[in-house]
Every structure is written in structure tokens, then in C-alpha cells.
Amino acid sequence: MHIPDGYLGPQTYVGAYAVMLSAWALAARRLSAAVLGKRAPLVGLAAAFCFVVMMFNIPIPGGTTGHATGAALIAILLGPEAAIVAISVALAVQALVFGDGGITAFGANCFNMALVMPLVAAGVFRLFAGKAPSGSRRRFFAAAAAGYLSLNAAALTTAIIFGIQPALAHDAAGRPLYSPYPLSVALAAMMIPHLLVFGFAEAVMTGLAMRFLEGAALGWKPSFEAAEGTPSLRARLLRRWWAIIILLVLISPLGLLAPAWLGAGTAWGEWSGEEIGRMVGYLPEGMAKWAEKWKAPLPDYAFSWEGKAAGRLALAYLVSAAVGVGLVVGIGWVIGKFVGGKKANPA
């Protein structure tokens, strides 16, 4: 769901930025009132968790891949406002440093994964969890349902954004200027694998991670449940969350090697301009203008020296995971302190 540059016309990406600017401003205001700086480290860890989870590409029959996002878990544990900020930070680092997702499409990617997913996940979890106590089986299944439904909601909005491009902008010959696939193709290509595979991966990951983290902090509830964790609960939650992130970083090369071993290609809708040209027979004019315009320092989580040997590729992926985690933890922590620090310090 990381839409690259060149796939969206200005009518779409400007509108997405406008929506997200409002969402970021509202989230920052509500976060400032609710978090009070006490959860700033958790905002950074939430961003790191999302970043590294999205590095695990899951290959499926048909030669494509997809991934979980972690957005539902963040919305459940910290509330949708913190999730909007944390996931946006992760997506920004992915786009700017690793070229994963476009700069023009950043607002749209945030709309799908940092806004739609957290809001849907929080609503589904509230509906299904009810007043069940922390660590209960009902909360586990509520978290899993929130992961499954929120990822598919994001896949649906992504498919719609892709699919409306041919109708919004085309040349005199009727050829699309941006994403060339109509709504009927985009809906099938996005929804079938997410409904059948990737949604369940998000559900399992969300439910298990929720169970593991709540086991360290029984009594912890997200901000939308109007309960603030004690310092000891936060400390235990931080330790377990760090353990998950470090484990994911260490095994992150599997996210690169597994698709290669199974012969899976690029995720649907994330192809380069050259790949699009081969598939549809021409390179859309808008895509030719914007595709690969931004030169990321570490494109595709790789280095110029690693070559094509599996061991070197795995090492590059591992280093990229560590670098990305460090960046998003730091940025998330600074943002969390900035929006909450002024009201946290006087006490």
C-alpha cells in the first residue's frame, strides 16, 4: 500500500495532503491534552514497531507480496491520535530515507495507513472488546478483528485511490496520465489478497502482540478508554515492546529473502516506471514526470556495496532496519515530548 510517486494526479495527492494536515493538527491537539508527555517514549516505539513490521513482505501465489502494518495495535494500545502521529513518522522515514512510498503520494499513504486504519481499528476494538478486562480472551479476539477489518478498510481506500486515476486524468487518446488501472482492476487486485491473506496476517500479529504486551501491563488501557497507565505499567510495557522490536530487527532479512526464495515480485501498485512500461506497453506521461524523482539515500533498504549475494542483501536489510528504527524512535520521541511536554512539566 506504499503508493509511489507518479501514480496519483495532483487532484488526488493535494486533496490527501489537505485531509492529513487537518488530521495531524487535530491529533497533535488531542495528544497534547491526553498524553501529557508521559507516553512520549511509547509514541517513538510505536513508530519503530510499524516501520519494522512493514519490512516483512509476505509472498503469495501470483508473484506478488504484501505486509502487515501494525497500525491497529498502535491504535488499540495508545489510541488513534497517537497512532496517526506514530504511523505518519514511520511512513515519512520510509519515503525519505528508503524510497518506500512516494513524496507526492505521502499524504495519500498516510490517509490509508495512518488515518483510516487507526480509526477503524479503534472503533472495531471498542465494539467487540466492550468492558472485558485486560488480558482476556475477548480482548484478544477484538484486537484480531480490529487488525483484519482495519487493514482491509485501508486496502479498499487504496484501491479506490488507484482506480479513479484513469477517470480523473488522461490524454487526448484516452490513455491515463497516472495509474493506468481502472477501478474494477484495482479493487480486485487489492482486495482479494488482503481479504484472503494479508488481513489474517494483520489479525494474528495484532492479537498475539496485544496479548503479549497486555501480559506485561495488566490494567493498561488506551487513551480512548480514559485510563492512564502507572509508571510501573509503562516501564513493563516499554521493556516488552523493545523486546518485540529488537527481535523483528534481527529477523528482518526474512522479509527480503522469503519473497526472493519463492520468486515473488513487487507488491501490486508499487512498480517502477520501467516495470509499468513493460506491463501496459507505455509509460503514462504523469508517471514519467514524477516516477523516481526523489533519490532516497538508501533506496529499497539497500546499499551500493552489497551486491546481489543473499548474505550481503540480508546484511543490508538488517542494517536498514536498525537505522530506520533508530530514526523513527528518535523522531517519535521528540514529537511526543513536543506535543505533551508543556503540560507534563509543571507537575
Neighbours of 133 (CB within 10 A): 12
More confident residue, 344 or 323: 323
Q: Cell 529473502: give the residue.
A: 257
Residue 39 is predicted with a pLDDT of 62
More confident residue, 288 or 35: 288
- Banded model confidence at residue 340, pLDDT cuts 50, 70, 90: low
What is the pLDDT of the chain when averaged over all its residues?
A: 85
Cβ atoms 52, 325 nearer than 8 A: yes
Cβ atoms 169, 177 nearer than 8 A: yes
Please state, in angstroms and rounded to a whole number, the distance separating the CA atoms of residues 347 and 344: 6
Residue 54 is predicted with a pLDDT of 94
Predicted TM-score of the model (pTM): 0.90
Residue 63 is predicted with a pLDDT of 63
Write the pLDDT tens digit of every residue in 227-271.
Answer: 455 666 667 778 888 989 999 999 998 887 777 777 677 788 888
Residue 57 phi/psi, 5-degree rounding, is -80, 130
Read off the amino acid at residue 68.
A
Q: How is residue 315 written as a grid cell?
A: 546484511
Highest mean pLDDT among 36-45, 142-151, 170-179: 142-151
Residue 293 scores a pLDDT above 90: no
Per cent of the chain over pLDDT 70 is 84
Please state, in angstroms and rounded to a whole number, the distance separating the CA atoms of residues 325 and 131: 34
> Where do the domains of the chain lie, and which CATH numbers do they carry?
10-344 (1.10.1760.20)
Q: How is residue 174 written as a grid cell?
A: 484516452
Residue 35 is predicted with a pLDDT of 56
Nearest Cα to 17, choosing from 161, 148, 141?
Answer: 161
Please state, in angstroms and rounded to a whole number, the distance separating the CA atoms of residues 216 and 212: 7
Residue 346 is predicted with a pLDDT of 39
CA distances from 117 to 120, 121, 308, 342 (A): 5, 6, 35, 29
| Exposure b/e, 243-264, CB count within 10 A at least 16 = b | ebbeebbeebbbbbbebeeeeb
Per cent of the chain over pLDDT 90 is 50
More confident residue, 289 or 311: 289
Residue 341 is predicted with a pLDDT of 54
Q: Please report, in angstroms and rounded to a whole number, the separation of the first and last CA atoms in the chain.
A: 42
Residue 103 scores a pLDDT above 90: yes
